[in-house]
Amino acid sequence: MDGLPDVETYTDERLAEFAQGEAELDEVLRRKGLRSLFGCRLRVRRCLTLADAVARKRSRVLGG
């Protein structure tokens, strides 16, 4: 192949990374006594959505 991971593996790895990042963000906010920083969580979700869109586009381009 082209040296890049397949789309499913890439997407699964990115999903796991973002889920871990969101959990870490929740822990930091909890330690600081904040219940939620909606803007930060929204940015994390936007990044996840973008990563998913890129993976779908790559899949279509590669004919997967």
Q: Where are the domains of the chain?
A: 7-61
C-beta separation of 58 from 13 below 8 A: no
Average pLDDT of adjacent 10-residue blocks, the chain of 64 residues: 62 76 76 63 68 76 67
pLDDT of residue 57: 77
pLDDT of residue 1: 47
C-beta separation of 26 from 63 below 8 A: no
Residue type, 60: R
* Axis-axis angle for helices 7-31, 38-61 (nearest 10): 180
pLDDT of residue 39: 57
